[in-house]
Each structure stands twice: as structure tokens, then as C-alpha cells.
Amino acid sequence: MSEEFELDWLDLREPHDAAARSEALAEALIARLPARPRLMDLGAGTGSLFRWLAPRIGRAQAWTLVDQNKEMTEAAFDTIADRAETVGLKVTFPNRRTLLVHAPGGAWRVEALIADLAHAPGNLPVGNVDAVVCSALCDLVSAGWVERMAAAIRVPFYACLNVDGRDRFLPPVPGDALVARGFARDQGRDKGFGGRALGSKAVAEITRVFGAQGFEVQSAASDWVLRGGSATALLSELVFGHAEAAMAQDFRGRGQISAWREKRLQQSSLGRLQARVGHRDVLALPPEAGWDEPAPVAARMPAALPRRRR
């Protein structure tokens, strides 16, 4: 059974993801891309990674957004178009499957592919791209999935925002350890990728498996650091999510977990809750160079497409 994600959840996390991703790792990826790179974004959701990375690449580029959820990819097109227009970029649709953002450094072409990534990479045209990228996906996949991916591609593999298990809510309250244990167990549940999900082991596994295939692998922390204010809604959702996952794993602890949830929600509504959610970005670069020289990044490029008008 594959995992369902809500549009609202992806919308809530986008600004925090944008603040957390490692600029250094993104720069290292961009330095290895050819003049007009073609990127495949796995589990693209509503296109959050595109909105963050495309302006950093700056030049003409082509993206394939892959997701199993058609509603997500439709929202991705709407959101990309909406936010590009907000910063004054022209958007056209040359056909029903393609969106073009006319940026100063060249057009950003976006297409969507509806596919079940459980069968990846065998069901994907990975031979036609210059990088395989993903955001908040690899902690859902299995060890076998990473093995197949590393064996199939000879282009950069960039996976950002993988959970690493260093979650911490502050100030401490009773039930923290119980919830943390249940939540960690839930992260290992099969998320529809043919085996136990890697959860907090994702980056170690990617490093080991891609390294064994001759890739040079580097990683960097990309934690969410959340404190009241604009983070309140995300903090409350995190509390609900942690409690629900912990309850699913620990039936007998339900009473304590429920008390923990109420206490944490109260703290959140009073602006007294803080959290650090541990993430890591990872970049695996294939051994052979031989790329074209990257074109200069266009001047006056927005640092990222802004959030959706609501």
C-alpha cells in the first residue's frame, strides 16, 4: 500500500523545506549539470523542489515531474504557473502536457509523468535525463529500491530532506520518549516501495550503495528549526502526525500518547512549542566527468519562486 500525502501538508512544509535545503549541495549538483539540463524529479508532489532549484540553475532546463498522484501534478502545474507570474515571468502552455516558464536565462520546460515509483527505475526514462532528483522521498523507499536505482543510472542522484531521526520537541514533557519510539518504528513501515522503508537510515544507505557503484557521495544537514509564529501550523501538524504514528505502533500507550498530543497542541497554540526535525540532503555524483561546461547563471534571477497566493 503506497503512502498518501495531502496537498495542504506539502503547502505547509514548502517554506521550511526551502529554508532547510543545503545550498552547498545544490551548488555541487548544478556545477555538474550540462548547458541545458534535463532533470527528473521523483515523487515531485506539487513541484516544491522545482520552485526552489530551477531559479538556482537559472539557465534553460527541462523537468519531468513524476508522481503517482494526478491531483498533485495538476496542482504542481497551477502552482508553478501562479508563482512564476507573481514574479513577472511569462508562462505558456505549448500543449496540454507541457508548461514553459520564460525566464531571462532561457525557458524552464515542465512535463509530468504519472507513474508508480514502486517499479522505478524500470518504468522511467532515466536514460534520457542529466540528473535524477527528489525531495522528501528517500526515507519512504526500501533498500532494494536504492540498489536498483544506483545500478541503473550514471547521472547525478540528488535526494534532499531525508529524515535522520534527530527529532526533538521543546520544552520536554512526559511521553516524549514513548512518542519518539513509536514514531521511529512507524518510519520503518513498508511505504509501498517493496520492503521496509529506510526512514532515518536513508542517507547512510544511499551513501553505501551509490559509493559501491563508484559514485562520489556527499551529504549535509537540512534540519527544520521551528519556533512559533509562521511555524505554528506546521508544528501542530507535526504533533498530530507524531501522535498518530506512535499510536499505530503502540496500542497500549494510547492514553499517554493522547495526553502528550493535547499538551503539545496547547503549547503550540500558545506559541511555546519549538521543534527541530533532523534531515539530511545527499548528492551522489557519477565517476565520469565529460559534461559540457555549465552556462553562466542568469543575472536578476529570483532566489526561489515565492509561495502561492492563497
Residues that bind ligand SAM (CB under 6 A): 2-3, 5, 10, 17, 43-45, 48-49, 67-69, 72, 116-118, 135-137, 192
Q: How far apart are CA 262 and CA 21, in angstroms?
A: 31
Residue 227 CB, shortest distance to ligand SAM, in Å, is 22
CB of 84 or CB of 138, closer to ligand SAM: 138
CB of 69 or CB of 200, closer to ligand SAM: 69
Give me the count of residues in the chain.
310
Asked whether 108 and 63 are in contact (CB, 8 A), the reply is yes
Asked whether 14 and 50 are in contact (CB, 8 A), the reply is no
- Number of Cβ atoms within 10 Å of the Cβ of 172: 9
Residue 4 CB, shortest distance to ligand SAM, in Å, is 7
CB of 30 or CB of 44, closer to ligand SAM: 44
CB of 41 or CB of 130, closer to ligand SAM: 41
Residue 163 CB, shortest distance to ligand SAM, in Å, is 10
C-alpha distances (whole Å) from 185 to each of 139, 201, 248, 309 are 13, 12, 10, 37
CB of 43 or CB of 302, closer to ligand SAM: 43
- 90: exposed, middle or buried (C-beta count within 10 Å: 0-12, 13-18, 19+)? exposed
Residue 116 CB, shortest distance to ligand SAM, in Å, is 5
Q: How far apart are CA 37 and CA 290, in angstroms?
A: 14
Residue 211 CB, shortest distance to ligand SAM, in Å, is 24
